[in-house]
Structure 1
Amino acid sequence: MDAGRRISYILSDKTSKQKKTKNISYIEFERNNEQNIMVSLSGHILGADFPEEFKDWVKSDLDKLIDSNIIYKVTNQRAYSALKSFSGIDNIIIATDYDREGELIGVEALKFIEPGYTNIRRAKFSALTSQEVKDAFDNLLDVNYGLADSAKAREEIDLLWGAVLTRFFSVTSNRLWKDFISVGRVQTPTLALIVEREEEIKSFVPEKYFVINVTFNKGIDFQGVYEKNIKDEDEANKIFNAINGNDGIVKSYKNEKKEVYKPPPFSTTDFLREASRIGVTPSNAMKIAEKLYMSGLISYPRTDNTVYQRSIPLKSIAQKFEGTEFDTEAKMVLGQEKIYPSRGKVETTDHPPIYPVSYPKKALTGAYKNIYELIVRRFLATLYKNAVIEKSDADIDIKGYNFKVSGEKIIDNGWFDIYKYRKLRESKLPELVIGETVKGKKWDMEEKYTEPPKRYDVASLLKLMESLNLGTKSTRHDIIQKLNDRNFATGNPLRPTPLGIGFIKSITTIDSDIAKPDMTAELEKEMDKIAENQKKLDDVVNDSRNMLHSALKGFRGNKEEIKETITSYANKGDSIGTCPLDGGEISLVKFRNFSKIKCSTEGCKINFNLNATGLVQMTDKRCDVCSLPIIKIIRKGQSPEYRCVDPNCEYNRKKLSVGKCPSDDGDLIIRQSRYGKRFLGCSNYPKCTVTYPLPQKGVIMPTGEICRYCGAPLLIMVNGKRKWKFCPNMKCEYNRKDKVEKSESENK
């Protein structure tokens, strides 16, 4: 049920009717003795574009493109026709999502309804529940035209920056059609953060240092660490020789109870970060959250707010989970003498934090179940008590050298009992007495090296983008997804591709502001001022046009340098390690239909084509057989495949083999065709041409059994909850005469 149908269903007390006239669908219902018509818009009715004369990327004058009038075309013909078809309207109520985009969509609709109406109102709600929707329609607001204009400004500015700079960089580097270079106002500085971190990692020089540890014992073992990391090896040896074999004397000891505060309510960014940690990508998590909202299960999922409004019936919502799979957790919350919800640092008035509003009548499955459970557990955790730990700290002296000792003991697990995604960890420390001697049991000196900064994973990048005001709660997850889709960055943690590095380097060598978060953040503030009616839409857009003219002028003066930088990096490949044969650099070079692994040393035998389709990602692992890098290949509908970069390595043969070929003594190996289809082929190809087709989705496992009819190895196929045994020879009698085997042992 879409939002329009759900709203009309609620307002009509379940008597609304779906109607169709001249291929125009709408919903009709009666409320308060008035006839109502509900039109579902399903997104923008108008799309921003440039005049037809600027259609050609190569021939268009980019300065004229910057100054051209942006035109709007109807992109939602169904909604347009519906709005134009009605007459005799007394009142108009906009009930789109209450945010910038929703306000703009509603204002767009007004352009196509009979002109002259002034009785236009706005319904604001944050959950598709009966109470919220009815309250919203009983307490209508005015339309916020400033909010709509801020969304329109963002649309026009993003179109200008994206179109002009995408054309410039794509044409300059001769990368057109599918290989074009996408430039975005928010996307580009976000990519620059990833590239900058990669440069920090590559330029990082590890520094050696020494750590001295002592294991003490007083009933239980506990560890002390010398208070400093020591860079000088002679000094480290001197200290170690002095303390080795000696007991310690307790110089200070304190322990105190501390609260571990419960988490704040979910904002969109916090929600997406937590979803990423349970294996759901931000883009998928947002799609799922939107569907849960449309189903009336959670509140509106696009919000910066981390403080529950007093009007939200927190206790009543918690009671909805009694008698469900969350019964224990709900009773824990409701059993408290008083419920004190946690508060975050951001409080807004547009929408509340994300919270559950009802329990599903039909059981959810897969990622939908996981995301809903995450939201429910976070909500209940914000209402439960803080955890309590006892933290102990001590200083122990050995021969004048101070060793730090600490421990934590869980007193009350508190909200951790509800929010299963995090755990408290204990490190027990016995009760110590100042002045007492504690026995030394083991003395160690360890040589270590400083480590480079970590790459950003999706969760940490979302947090960084929020702190830098890059993008909005509604767009950040899409920006990260676009970097992946457009071959600028891959994996999680995010690693920039050679194209991504080359593109950012071509910009930063000119010292352009478009790769810096400051410019984008400043534009976001300007758009906020439009929403607050402190600035006009046209003024902000024109200021942005002037900035774009200036940026384009700087790039034009460095066209050859830009072309050379992008081309050289794009052709270079992604460094994945050091060659074990000659110390050269091993790179992964991606082409349109295949990838190549090659060593930088001319004549090195490490030069392999990867006929594998799918997304190729690097890992930090090395092959146990030949020491070359292990890569990870991700294909839709299949489990990730890990393989050695050398296609002929024994590692791959053993890992991909499902049994012996019935025609000769070779192994039947899972292979990929050039079109991405997997099949079984003999390892003795081309001498042996035996092949068998395979199902394209699911996990294939060998059984160790031989087909009694044709001699091929029998396999097990697992696809979701289904599991069955089959012979890969599709013409074999086994698949026709023997029924599918689903023994209890296979389904355990």
Structure 2
Amino acid sequence: MNKLINGTAKVLFVAEKNEAAKSIAKVLSQGNYSRREGLSKFNKIYEFEGNVLGRKSIISTTSVSGHMLTMDFEPKYKKWGYVVASQLFEAPVKKYVIDGLKDVESSLKNYSSKNGTLVIWTDCDREGENIGGEIANTCSKFNKDIDIYRARFSEITPHAIKDALENLTKLDQNVINAVDCRTELDLRIGAAFTRLQTIYLKKRFPVMLRYSNANKNNNFISYGSCQFPTLGFVVDRYVAVKNFIPERFWKLRSFHMKDNIKTEFTWERGRLFSQTDVESYLTTCKDNLSSAKIVSVTKNPKSKKRPAPMDTICLEKLAIRVLKMSAKKVMDLAEKLYSKGYISYPRTETTIYPEKLDLSTFINKQVANPFWGHFADEIMNNGGPKPKNGKKSDKAHPPIYPLVHVKKDELQDDEMFSVYELIVRHFLACCSRDAKGQETTITMTVGEEIFKASGLNIEDKGYLEVYPYDNWASKMIQKYIEGEEISGNLEIDIHEGTTTPPALLNESDLIGLMDKYGIGTDATHAEHIETIQKRKYCSLDKDRRFVPSAIGFALVESYNLLGYQLSKPNLRADLEKDLLLICKGEKTKEDVLTHQLDNYKRIFENVEGQIEVFGDYFENEVKNNSNLWEKNNKGISQNPLQDPDLKLSESVKCHCNKPSAIYTVKKSGPSNGKLFYACATSLSHDKRCNFFQWCEQN
């Protein structure tokens, strides 16, 4: 119901962030708006006059700060001693206003009561839809008659914002339900397993939780149905590297010198794992050296394909490789660029430009740039953009592309500009042409053995002129003619090598695996990767590759040894598929909750019944992987099961045949203050030996 003042409607716009609210107000008012302070100092009020739903309106535009509500258990269930962990699968949950955001709720209460229409301008993805649902529920709670609409847009430009206002829709309740379902599942599953493993491990290994870097802020060992498969990828690759057994191989190499230029010919058989066989082939070649000749010289056109339009995963992986940024960092910067109206929405799974998108407009805006403007101009002077489209579309957002030309000094942030430049160069590259060249392949025979050499001449660099992130270099090769005999100056020998292990995962590799196996979404990959690092379950080495910590490794391997694939992608991927079906209206939230909770509760009960075995596995894995122990402030590796404050005696061994610890008698009496040796294993550990010796006896 519209509230009217002299025939003018009163309308409330709510965006996801203050920067977006300001940009929307600026576009729709053509800069003619007034700003007022809101009840929340971070969420201003922008007021202007306009037209909404065909009616002259006074518009108040404000924002939230992302999610305003959080889902949690009722207070009594948050007390760890109140209920057993298994009850958390059914305990009541509800949504609460997040601490620090009461002012945002009060602001919505104030303005919803004064306005008859609400238009939601949150980001057009699952989280944005759910945040829109929070806004709608909050406003309707304080004004049950308020009319609620949804504006859908993928960029903050005059055209997109005006088009969204002219084509208002309703919130998608299916998407809202999917996010609520995921939130509830993550809460219940995460809380239950976290309590189970924390309570048990804390009792059995109290030192680990007291001193572990993983628990300085929170005295728990967390579990998450997304973070655990993410950690599982890290551990699996580490195990593959650790268990890799190198093999020796042998292959023939051939070099020919002509006009003082040495050309290497590659043996067509490649590498073999039998030295005897390769030596036999070498003998045959040397016996037929005089017959060596060029049997063919072929020239074929070669091309290097320009990139497909940029989606979120492409942006993250490219920035990780080129800019050495974390995925979380690049997405934070991309969000800011989007909110300022500099790029389209950065959370997208689409690699196909919509037919109605006028790419020429956005290319022309880059002509003014001193570094890549000439390339943009060249695209327009050679028939305009000819993008190479990919194969994916999320039906919601276009690929990521620049909306305006931005000078470096306008951003006043070098990292933000580097992300912007990456997006611009990628956009121009995919709108241009492939790089082209000619490959020459020379085939030589020595007896029956075949060797080949190749060279490349790049004739048109194409997109590579603007895209320094791909390498394709010319390789000069000596000229030969078919039938040419080359026995003179020809050398053939044996090269011996060993196979190398796969590399540990970098962040780009990890995102690729998460995408491949359906762990999280393009919008949440960075968040899950950040979580396993914050929990100290893994860290980056000097080459920015992931190495599991002793605790992270032990958790994953302990569940694996029990036979439960909690660190494998199958369970979470199945959950993600169910969430997609809720979005499509093919499953209900209630059905998915029941199905998924049944699956995880069954595993939980089995783990709970074998918790002592789990603890044994955990202890063994921590002890057997001392190379993964955290280093203390002196750079010394510290066993997470052992108190770092204990002084150890290498000369005095306990009954476990390990260095004993030096303790001080604290009990009042004649021995108070005296030092003694005892087992270094935790006092509460059931496997602690009963060794005792006064230090003065040594």
TM over 0.5: yes
Alignment partner of 1:192: what SS?
Answer: helix
Structure 1 residue 317 displacement after superposition: 0.6
Within the alignment, does 1:13 sit opposite 2:55 as a pair? no
Aligned position for 1:91: 117
Write the mapping of 1:84-483 to structure 2, written as runs, cut at 5 A: 84-86=109-111, 87-113=113-139, 114-117=142-145, 119-174=147-202, 176=209, 178=216, 180-219=220-259, 220-228=261-269, 229-244=271-286, 248-278=292-322, 279-325=324-370, 326-360=372-406, 362-438=410-486, 439-483=488-532
The structure with the greater share of residues assigned to strand is 1
CA contact (8 A) 2:631 2:638 kept: no
- Counterpart of 2:538, as a letter, is A
- For 2:479 and 2:299, locate their aligned partners in 1 and report how far apart those are by CA, in whole Å: 9
Aligned length: 589
- For 1:65 and 1:465, locate their aligned partners in 2 and report how far apart those are by CA, in whole Å: 28
- Counterpart of 2:613, as a letter, is E
- Counterpart of 2:531, as a letter, is K
Structure 1 residue 55 displacement after superposition: 1.9
Name which structure has the greater RCO, CA cutoff 8 Å, separation 6+.
Answer: 2
CA contact (8 A) 1:173 1:567 kept: no
Within the alignment, does 1:31 sit opposite 2:79 as a pair? no
Alignment partner of 1:564: what SS?
Answer: helix
- For 1:366 and 1:85, locate their aligned partners in 2 and report how far apart those are by CA, in whole Å: 40
Which stretch has the larger CA shift, 236-245 or 330-339? 236-245
CA contact (8 A) 1:58 1:171 kept: no
Aligned position for 1:80: 105
Per-residue CA deviations over 1:607-650 (Å, capped at 9, x if unaligned) read 99xxxxxxxxxxxxxxxxxxxxxxxxxxxxxxxxxxxxxxxxxx
Structure 1 residue 221 displacement after superposition: 2.9
CA contact (8 A) 1:259 1:389 kept: yes
* Pick aligned residue for 1:543 from 586, 595, 602: 595
Pair 22,108 (structure 1): closer, same or farther in 2 beyond 3 Å? closer
CA contact (8 A) 1:66 1:548 kept: no
- Counterpart of 1:7, as a letter, is I
Structure 1 residue 239 displacement after superposition: 2.3
The structure with the greater share of residues assigned to helix is 2
- Counterpart of 1:334, as a letter, is M
Alignment partner of 1:250: what SS?
Answer: strand
Structure 1 residue 60 displacement after superposition: 2.8
- For 2:589 and 2:515, locate their aligned partners in 1 and report how far apart those are by CA, in whole Å: 24
Per-residue CA deviations over 1:23-59 (Å, capped at 9, x if unaligned) read 7852222102311112201111210001112223355
Pair 486,574 (structure 1): closer, same or farther in 2 beyond 3 Å? farther
Pair 287,204 (structure 1): closer, same or farther in 2 beyond 3 Å? same
Structure 1 residue 476 displacement after superposition: 0.5
CA contact (8 A) 1:247 1:440 kept: no
Per-residue CA deviations over 1:583-621 (Å, capped at 9, x if unaligned) read xxxxx632665541499xxxxxxx99xxxxxxxxxxxxx
TM superposition score normalised by structure 1: 0.75
- For 2:413 and 2:133, locate their aligned partners in 1 and report how far apart those are by CA, in whole Å: 37
- Counterpart of 2:429, as a letter, is A
Per-residue CA deviations over 1:533-591 (Å, capped at 9, x if unaligned) read 1111122112222112101112112211222332343455553xxxxxxxxxxxx6326
Structure 1 residue 115 displacement after superposition: 4.4
Structure 1 residue 70 displacement after superposition: 1.4
CA contact (8 A) 1:214 1:442 kept: yes
Per-residue CA deviations over 1:396-418 (Å, capped at 9, x if unaligned) read 11122221323322121111111
Structure 1 residue 427 displacement after superposition: 2.5
- For 1:270 and 1:101, locate their aligned partners in 2 and report how far apart those are by CA, in whole Å: 21
Pair 425,30 (structure 1): closer, same or farther in 2 beyond 3 Å? same
- For 2:560 and 2:255, locate their aligned partners in 1 and report how far apart those are by CA, in whole Å: 51
Identity of aligned residues (%): 27
Structure 1 residue 276 displacement after superposition: 0.3
Alignment partner of 1:38: what SS?
Answer: strand
Alignment partner of 1:514: what SS?
Answer: coil
Write the mapping of 1:646-661 to structure 2, written as runs, cut at 5 A: none
Runs of 4+ in 1 over 6 A off after TM superposition: 21-24
CA contact (8 A) 1:298 1:356 kept: yes
Aligned position for 1:716: none
- For 1:592 and 1:60, locate their aligned partners in 2 and report how far apart those are by CA, in whole Å: 36
- For 1:58 and 1:437, locate their aligned partners in 2 and report how far apart those are by CA, in whole Å: 87
CA contact (8 A) 2:630 2:638 kept: no
Aligned position for 2:84: 61
- For 1:574 and 1:329, locate their aligned partners in 2 and report how far apart those are by CA, in whole Å: 54
- Counterpart of 2:403, as a letter, is V
TM-align CA RMSD: 2.3
Pair 435,101 (structure 1): closer, same or farther in 2 beyond 3 Å? same
CA contact (8 A) 2:504 2:545 kept: yes
Structure 1 residue 301 displacement after superposition: 0.7
**Unpaired segments ≥5 residues, structure 2:** 1-17, 203-207, 210-214, 640-646, 649-698
Structure 1 residue 300 displacement after superposition: 0.8
Aligned position for 2:655: none
CA contact (8 A) 2:40 2:104 kept: no
- For 2:248 and 2:472, locate their aligned partners in 1 and report how far apart those are by CA, in whole Å: 32
